[in-house]
Each structure stands twice: as structure tokens, then as C-alpha cells.
């Protein structure tokens, strides 16, 4: 397992609040499920282990290699596709998905131009009437959920004697983006410590704005679902969209 995958699992691997929604949508769809920005496979592996056919798209080559190894080792129905979601042209997936999901605010990694380009690609890729579900940060819960608290315990994991720790420090709300700062600590088996600051930038986009962008690409709004993340994290809103027939 690469260091990139380990940090993904440390910081996101224990998050489960959205999994019931993805299970529900996957059980209701015809055809394979496409996950956009699958990362270390938190969602894709979970759904594949429950018998759903998954197509996991990820740009980072280290993450795609690790995810392929995991799926082969576990014998899961999961195809891993290395592709840049912000590019032009068709996404090289093996079949037309009946559901596409963007978990953990992956759509907010992209700016407006990139989002619109991705929507256009997905409108051509998905099966007629398929569901596209993407989560955005529920900004109204940022402070009430304790996202700015200094009392949040760090996420930790031990791998082969190395201890990985990631502590959320603060969330900065700018005019165009949210910046989440974490303090990462890596302790070797011999006790040497390395500290580093890691910033994650999410472009701000409201559910209304996301629906308008999707409608311009041919999608139709199909409802929203609230995802409650618990007392230490901001909630999410899943925006559901119907692909053109």
C-alpha cells in the first residue's frame, strides 16, 4: 500500500455516514455503478463487497494501482479506470452506468468550468434515465458541527510499525473556496517523528448552483438527501440528478 493510499484511509476510511445512501441508490439502479474519484476505495470496495458491479474512476496512479490490487485480492466485481475527470472526450469505461456517484464532495475539487465539462461528459456516458448523485458540503453546519473546534481527536492508523496521524485544525471559508487544514504526523518504528501541514481546497458550490449547471448539460433535478455526519464534522447534501433519456 502506498503512502497516498494510507493517508486517504486515515483521513476518510472510517467515514460511514453516506454509505446507506449509496447502498440504497445502488440497489435501485440497473447496470453498473460508476464512482467518480474513488480514491483508496472506501465506497467502491464497500458496494462491490455487497455484490454491486462497480466502475471506479481515479486519476492518481498510486491510488488506482492500490485499488486494483485490493479488488483482485478480495475477488470483487470492481473495474478500476485511470482517467482525468477534468479532461475532454469520453471516459474510457467498459459499459454505460445506471448510477454515478461523487462521494465526499469530490465535485467541489473542480472549478465551475471543470464541473460543466464533467457534466457534459457524464450526460453522454450514463444510461438513459440514470441517476447522478453528488455530495456538497452543507455549509450551514460547518460551525455547529464543531468543524472549527480544536478538541477533535486526530485520525490514526498503524501500518507495519509506522503510525500515521491526521488532526483537523481549522476550516477557512473564503469567497470562492473552503480550505480544510490538517496536521499530519508520521512516526517511524524507531520513534522518529515527521510533521507536515496538509491543505484540502474545495470550491464553494451550492446545491442550487450545482443543479443549474447539471440542467445546462441535460440533467433534470431529482431531489436532495441530507447526510448527517455527526457532532465533529459538517453535514453533506446529496444532489440527485436524472440523466437525459
In terms of domains, do 190 and 109 share one? no
Q: Residue 211 CB: number of other CB atoms within 10 A?
A: 18
In terms of domains, do 123 and 238 share one? yes
In terms of domains, do 131 and 181 share one? no
In terms of domains, do 176 and 214 share one? no
169-201 pLDDT, tens digit each: 999 999 999 999 999 999 999 999 999 999 999
Mean pLDDT of the chain: 93
In terms of domains, do 68 and 18 share one? yes
Q: In CATH, what number is assigned to the domain containing residue 58?
A: 3.40.50.150
What's the pLDDT at 148?
46
In terms of domains, do 152 and 60 share one? no
| Angle, CA 54 vertex, CA 204 and CA 119 arms, to 5° | 35
What's the pLDDT at 209?
98
What's the pLDDT at 232?
77
Its pTM stands at 0.93
In terms of domains, do 148 and 228 share one? no
Q: In CATH, what number is assigned to the domain containing residue 193?
A: 2.20.25.110
Residue ranges, the chain, pLDDT below 70: 143-151
In terms of domains, do 41 and 130 share one? yes
Give the range of the structural domain holding residue 150, as residue numbers without chain letter. Answer: 143-202
Tally of domains in the chain: 2
In terms of domains, do 177 and 212 share one? no
Amino acid at each position: 500500500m502506498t503512502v497516498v493510499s494510507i493517508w486517504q484511509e486515515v483521513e476518510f476510511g472510517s467515514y460511514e455516514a453516506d454509505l446507506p445512501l449509496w447502498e440504497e441508490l445502488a440497489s435501485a439502479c440497473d447496470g453498473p455503478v460508476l464512482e467518480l474519484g474513488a480514491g483508496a476505495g472506501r465506497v467502491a470496495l464497500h458496494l462491490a463487497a455487497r455484490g454491486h458491479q462497480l466502475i471506479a474512476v481515479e486519476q492518481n496512479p498510486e491510488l488506482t494501482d492500490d485499488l486494483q490490487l485490493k479488488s483482485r485480492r478480495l475477488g470483487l466485481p470492481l473495474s478500476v479506470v485511470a482517467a482525468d475527470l477534468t479532461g475532454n472526450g469520453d471516459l474510457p469505461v467498459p459499459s454505460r452506468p445506471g448510477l454515478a456517484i461523487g462521494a465526499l464532495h469530490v465535485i467541489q475539487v473542480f472549478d465551475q468550468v471543470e464541473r460543466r465539462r464533467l457534466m457534459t461528459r457524464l450526460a453522454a456516458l450514463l444510461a438513459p434515465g440514470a441517476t447522478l448523485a453528488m455530495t456538497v458540503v452543507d455549509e450551514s453546519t460547518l460551525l455547529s458541527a464543531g468543524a472549527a473546534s480544536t478538541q477533535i481527536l486526530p485520525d490514526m492508523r498503524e501500518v507495519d510499525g509506522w503510525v500515521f496521524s491526521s488532526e483537523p485544525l481549522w476550516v477557512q471559508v473564503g469567497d470562492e473556496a473552503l480550505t480544510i487544514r490538517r496536521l499530519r504526523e508520521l512516526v517511524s518504528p524507531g520513534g522518529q517523528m515527521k510533521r507536515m501541514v496538509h491543505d484540502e481546497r474545495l470550491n464553494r458550490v451550492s446545491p442550487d448552483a450545482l443543479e443549474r449547471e447539471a440542467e445546462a448539460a441535460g440533467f433534470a433535478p431529482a431531489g436532495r438527501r441530507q447526510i448527517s455526519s455527526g457532532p465533529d464534522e459538517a453535514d453533506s447534501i446529496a444532489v440527485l440528478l436524472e440523466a437525459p433519456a
